Amino acid sequence: MVKLSVNLNKIATLRNARGGATPNLLQVAIDVQKFGSHGITIHPRPDERHITYQDVHDIRSVIKTELNIEGNPTDKFMELVLKIKPDQVTLVPDKYNALTSSSGWNTINHYHFLTRKIKKLKNFGIRTSIFLDPNPELVIYAAKTGSDRIELHTGNFSIGYAKKEWSSINPYIQTAKEAVKNGMLINAGHDLNLDNISFLIEKIPYLSEVSVGHALISESLYMGLENTIQSYLKRIHRIDMNESGIKNKVIKNDTTF
């Protein structure tokens, strides 16, 4: 079954806009899990413009499902996650002043760097994932680092889907196949929403987890948080239970939709 991890960065952004504790990040973390999310994702950036390092410590105490912490593995970030020991750490090559995560790792150029970081995390029993653009060659080197998973950066897919350019999914299918071939599990995230998530999961039946934040929080302004989470879960479960056997079929041709 594909798991849904809800990214809470935008809740922290809204809180920080006025200071204080409204909305209450910890209460939202509790409620998101109560409403059915399989996990929570947070991304503490160096400037702490949304999730702060203190938030990470606070949120850990209310996690009943799974905690995924994303970030660039700087010394400060590594010190934090090795102390918190989340269920999963996703390594993201974000720059200090980046508005959002715009690209994945070049695992060829950063192979030795990532290998050192992955080894340290796994020595502490932390599941690891590398944020990756859709490129099968990069998967090969990601696997060599010892990482458990990749997270597909789905930004380009989301742009293509919005334009009805269905072939935008093809590089993701090829990359997913390479990950399976190399014994890795596959996560996905970035600009996923209620409109495009079903198509993604249908075409990549190997997904283990999807992380959704910006769109889910935005959609909840109209639909309510509980209803929005349930809507995502219904889409995921509908595909999981599809009697056509999507989860077991072999994709014979990447251009057949």
Residue 111 is part of a domain; what is its CATH number?
3.20.20.70
DSSP character for 168?
Answer: G
Distances (CA, A) of 93 to 74, 168, 212: 10, 23, 18
Q: What percent of the chain has a predicted confidence (pLDDT) above 70?
A: 90
What pLDDT sits at residue 100?
56
Residue 70 a catalytic site member: yes
Which tens digit of pLDDT belongs to each residue from 60-105?
999 999 999 999 999 999 999 999 999 999 999 986 665 555 679 9
Per the residue annotation, which of 151, 178, 190, 209 is the catalytic one? 190
Residue 209 a catalytic site member: no
Which tens digit of pLDDT belongs to each residue from 24-42?
999 999 999 999 999 999 9
Helix ranges (H only) for 35-147 are: 53-60, 75-84, 111-123, 136-144
Per the residue annotation, which of 70, 151, 178, 219 is the catalytic one? 70
Residue 44 lies in a domain: yes
Which tens digit of pLDDT belongs to each residue from 98-114?
555 567 999 999 999 99
pTM for the model stands at 0.91
Per the residue annotation, which of 43, 151, 153, 219 is the catalytic one? 43
Residue 247 lies in a domain: no
Residue 50 a catalytic site member: no
Which tens digit of pLDDT belongs to each residue from 212-229?
999 999 999 999 999 999
Q: Are 131 and 171 in contact (CB under 8 A)?
A: no
What pLDDT sits at residue 94?
80
Residue 179 lies in a domain: yes
DSSP H or E stretch at residue 57: helix 53-60
Domain range for residue 31?
A: 3-240
Residue 24 lies in a domain: yes
What pLDDT sits at residue 238?
82
Residue 246 lies in a domain: no
For the chain, what is the domain count? Answer: 1
The model's confidence at residue 239, banded by pLDDT at 50, 70 and 90, is confident
Which tens digit of pLDDT belongs to each residue from 161-193?
999 999 999 999 999 999 999 999 999 999 999
